[in-house]
Amino acid sequence: MMKKNFRLFITSDIISQFGAGLILVALNWYIIDIYHSNSLIAIVANINVIAGILISIVAVGILKCINARWLVISSICFRIFFIVLALVLFKMNLDKKLAIYLLALSGGIGWNLYFPASKDILNSFMTEDNALQINSFAEISMQVGLLTATLFSGILYRYVGFKNILVIGIVLFVSSLLIFSSVKYSEQNKIKADKNVKLFSYFLKEKWLLLLGIVLYIPFIGTNIITTALPGYIKDHLSGNSIVYGITDTMYGVGA
């Protein structure tokens, strides 16, 4: 039974990651294709990152108050709502830049609510003997979802267009939500934290953890720099299309 629920959880995770990657890659190419602006891609990346950092701090407290299952469900519903809202703005030819910013918020907030909650649930499938294997498998599933998404996103953008990719993204997130809703797992006994302990004072006390976080964040900065410059470079200097961009971006997933 545990193996079945773990497989359902991983399947839901792959579909969710696939949907997120599909929209992110298509959004970057849409910006360079329509607005020819690396600066706008940088703004979208900043919205995504800053919203993600802020929500990550809040997510720590949220996880202490509500069930991880509901946080995962809420994060997926949040994404669906913002993508639908952005799609409506595109379809009605209203403020397209606002729609782009909403998609950036959807990614930043949705992902950073989903990630800690999903890891919390992942712990329920772990034992002392299988922790490394389960963690590795979960990381591989995430990269598989993103890897295939970037490749398909470039192809789909060329043949069905950006708006239809948003529709596909909605369908994928709904599918992920339905599969995840059927997952059964045991809630972990959480250690009650002292309510008077503040997050930043905790990090100052545990300096090694703060240093580790900074070290782990450095490659992410490099990735964002490359991701921001890549669409414009492929379009303007290599005269490539969305398929070339999708294949190039897929190399991140292959490496991972």
pLDDT in tens, the chain (256 residues): 667 888 888 889 889 989 998 998 999 999 999 998 889 999 998 888 888 778 877 766 676 777 888 889 989 999 999 999 999 999 888 888 999 999 998 888 888 888 888 888 888 777 767 777 777 777 777 777 777 888 899 899 999 999 999 999 999 999 999 999 988 877 654 444 444 446 566 667 777 877 887 787 787 777 778 888 889 889 888 888 999 988 888 876 676 6
Q: What distance in Å separates the CA atoms of residue 193 and residue 180, rounded to the nearest whole number?
A: 28
Percent of the chain with pLDDT over 70: 89
Task: Give residue-wise pLDDT tens across range 42-61.
Answer: 999 888 888 877 887 776 66
Q: DSSP secondary-structure letter at 206?
A: S
Q: Are 192 and 35 in contact (CB under 8 A)?
A: no
Alpha helices in 66-193 (DSSP H): 68-91, 96-123, 131-159, 162-181
Query: Nearest-CA neighbor of 61 among 189, 195, 204?
Result: 195
Task: Give residue-wise pLDDT tens across range 70-112.
Answer: 889 989 999 999 999 999 999 888 888 999 999 998 888 888 8
Who contacts 47 (Cβ-Cβ below 8 Å, separation ≥6)? 101, 104, 105, 108
Beta carbons within 10 angstroms of residue 37's beta carbon? 13
